[in-house]
Structures are given as C-alpha cells and as structure tokens.
C-alpha cells in the first residue's frame, strides 16, 4: 500500500459558534474539530451511496455540549463531560455543502456543514467548552466529530446560539 496518499487526502474540520445576546451583540467562538473513526466510516459509506452504518442525520442523533477540555480523539463516542439539557437535533436542510448562511465563516464547496440552532429556551448552561455530533443524544455509542473550544462560555435564557460544524474534504 502506498502511504504517500494519506498525506494528501483527508477530512479536516472547523467549528464556528455564534452566541447572540439579547442586545444583538455577538460572540464568535472557533476551533478545530476531529472527525472520528465512526465519522470517517459515515462519510465513506455516504459517498458510495450506501446506507451508513450509523446515521447522524435523524433522531435520536444530534449534538451534545459539554464542559470537558480533553483533546478529542479518533475513538471518541461523545463529549467528555456532558452538560444536561444541551442536546439538539440538526437543523432542517442540513447537512449541506456550500452553506449559504453568512454566519458560517467556515463554509465551502467541498465542506459539509452540520448546523444546530438553539433558541433562548434551549441549551442554557454554564461552562460550555466542547461538543460532539452523536448517534443518540440520550445514550450515545458513536460520534461523527468532537471538538473543544479554547475557553468556556455561558449560554443564558437571553441568548441564541448557532453552531456550525464544518468538515472539509481535501484532495491531492
């Protein structure tokens, strides 16, 4: 097997979180995201028109937020430290490529975007630091991707929050 191909083909990711306060002011959080081994399999199967072994697009799949700061790994199945009440289903019409949402500064034609939009009543927590797209928001056994922001933040009942998880497909 020629291992030189591994250096030129892959999936990399970034995450953009936009927290909008009641007064309209926004805080933007960005970080890298790792596509897990389960995520690699999902993308490979989808690209071949196969039914994915794990479907991250339909309930009970979704995203979970947490307070952990452990570096994400390919073998992860969920967040390190889950914050109760922070799960959310994917937005309608997502995932998609070439995301037209202006808030997503990580969009691109070869980028798959997963978007999760929290209203003021959803996902309120102190110390949000990490997130993972999981197969089951109650009892996850696999995750597509996992990320950790550089610093923790708080989402209150006065805030909305939109999370864009971007996975870019790179060729030679």
Provide the b/e sequence for 25-59 (b: ≥16 CB within 10 Å): eeeebebebbbbebbeebbeebeeeeebebebbee
Confidence of residue 11 (pLDDT cuts 50, 70, 90): confident
Confidence of residue 74 (pLDDT cuts 50, 70, 90): very high
- Which one has a higher pLDDT value, 169 or 100? 100
Confidence of residue 170 (pLDDT cuts 50, 70, 90): confident
pLDDT tens-digit series, residues 24-40:
999 999 999 999 999 99
Q: Does residue 6 have a pLDDT over 60?
A: no
Confidence of residue 169 (pLDDT cuts 50, 70, 90): confident
Q: Which two tokens stand for residue 83?
A: 């914050």
pLDDT tens-digit series, residues 101-115:
999 999 999 999 999
Confidence of residue 1 (pLDDT cuts 50, 70, 90): very low
Residue 140: predicted pLDDT: 97
Average of per-residue pLDDT across 146-154: 97
Confidence of residue 78 (pLDDT cuts 50, 70, 90): very high
Q: Which H or E element spans position 54?
A: none
Contacts of 47 (CB under 8 A, 6+ apart): none
Residue 54 CA: distances (Å) to CA of 42, 50, 144: 7, 11, 9
In Å, how far from its chain's centre is CA 106?
Answer: 12
Residue 9: predicted pLDDT: 59
% pLDDT > 70, the chain: 94
Q: Does residue 50 have a pLDDT over 70?
A: yes
Give CA–CA dist 37/74, Å, rounded: 5
């Amino acid at each position: 097997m020629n291992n030189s191909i591994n250096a030129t083909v892959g999936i990399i990711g970034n995450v953009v979180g936009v927290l909008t306060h009641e007064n309209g002011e926004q805080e933007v959080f960005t970080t890298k995201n790792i596509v897990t081994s389960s995520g690699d399999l999902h993308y490979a199967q989808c690209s071949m028109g196969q039914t994915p072994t794990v479907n991250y697009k339909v309930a009970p799949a979704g995203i979970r937020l947490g307070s952990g700061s452990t570096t994400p790994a390919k073998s992860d199945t969920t967040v390190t430290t889950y914050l109760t009440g922070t799960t959310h289903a994917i937005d309608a019409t997502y995932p998609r490529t070439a995301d037209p949402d202006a808030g997503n500064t990580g969009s691109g034609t070869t980028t798959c975007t997963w978007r999760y939009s929290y209203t003021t009543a959803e996902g309120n927590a102190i110390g949000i630091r990490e997130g993972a797209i999981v197969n089951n928001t109650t009892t996850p056994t696999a995750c597509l991707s996992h990320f950790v922001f550089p610093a923790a933040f708080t989402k209150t009942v006065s805030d909305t929050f939109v999370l864009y998880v971007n996975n870019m497909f790179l060729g030679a």
